[in-house]
Structure 1
Amino acid sequence: MKKTKIIYWIFTGLLVALMVLGSIPDIMSAPDAVALFNDLGYPTYLLPFIGIAKLLGVVAILIPGFPRIKEWAYAGFVFDLTGAMYSSISVGDPASGWLLFIIGYILIAGSYIYHHKIIKSATSCTLSNKNS
């Protein structure tokens, strides 16, 4: 169980860092973020909304409990990454830029899988203690 938790926190910590570092320029409508959105053809008024949504997802993943909200946060991160990757491909960005997206997907999957392993382990421990 301890090894599972360590792996979970490594994946989750890196995922949180990725999402927080991506959300701050969005919320502040930093010039680089605005330029990227303009290149993709999106209206810049979406930037703060997307940044706040990412931060709320981070909070949902870090706060214990609220399993359904946590599931939605993971789904939201997948939607965000998929939309960003699709947009990048659509405007003809080179495949070399896909590395960050692939890393993001790996971090989301790792955090999600190990989160469920922890839940399953805790549930089986609780059931075995009740049967004793």
Structure 2
Amino acid sequence: MKTTKILYWVFTILFAFVMFGSAIPDVLMQPAAVKGMHGGLGYPIYFVPFIGVAKILGVIAILIPGFRRLKEWAYAGLTFDLIAATYSLYCTPHPDGPWYFMLIFLALAACAYIWYSKKQDLPATT
């Protein structure tokens, strides 16, 4: 029981750190983020801060206690973001690195969600 909670928090904090870290340049419209998403992948400029704010809201949702259904949606949304980013990198060769590097972050998302589900299955303690 204790191991489940520890692994849940380890994977969740790592996943939140990665997603929050990738959201900040998007929200601030830093040139590297705009160049990568607009210039490299072809997304419209207005999409850059939108996806950054969405990631921040998702990170907040997975970190705050309670709100089980909201957490499910947040995990799904953040995972869809990673899948879309992976597919975009696969379809458009990117100078920053190969697309399969993104599989690390998808695995991290999977681990965070799996341990979240296992934590939910634990008996409630008073």
Q: TM-score, normalised by structure 2?
A: 0.91
Larger radius of gyration: 1
Give the alignment of 1:52-131 within 5 angstroms: 52-93=53-94, 96-99=98-101, 101-123=102-124
Measured on the aligned residues, the alpha-carbon RMSD in Å equals 1.7
Q: Deviations over 1:11-38 (max 9, x none)?
A: 1111011001100000001000011011
Following TM superposition, by how much is the alpha carbon of 1:97 offset from its aligned partner in structure 2, in angstroms? 3.9
SS at match of 1:52: helix
Following TM superposition, by how much is the alpha carbon of 1:96 offset from its aligned partner in structure 2, in angstroms? 3.3
SS at match of 1:102: helix
SS at match of 1:113: helix
- Assess if the C-alpha contact under 8 Å between 2:4 and 2:115 holds in 1: yes
CA distance in 2, matches of 1:48, 1:17: 18
More helix by share: 1
Following TM superposition, by how much is the alpha carbon of 1:44 offset from its aligned partner in structure 2, in angstroms? 1.2
CA distance in 2, matches of 1:109, 1:122: 22
Q: Could you tell me which runs of 5 or more consecutive residues in structure 1 were left unpaired when the two chains were aligned.
A: 127-132
Q: Which amino acid aligns with 1:33?
A: A
Q: Which amino acid aligns with 2:62?
A: I
- Assess if the C-alpha contact under 8 Å between 2:89 and 2:98 holds in 1: no
Q: Percent identity?
A: 48
Following TM superposition, by how much is the alpha carbon of 1:108 offset from its aligned partner in structure 2, in angstroms? 1.1
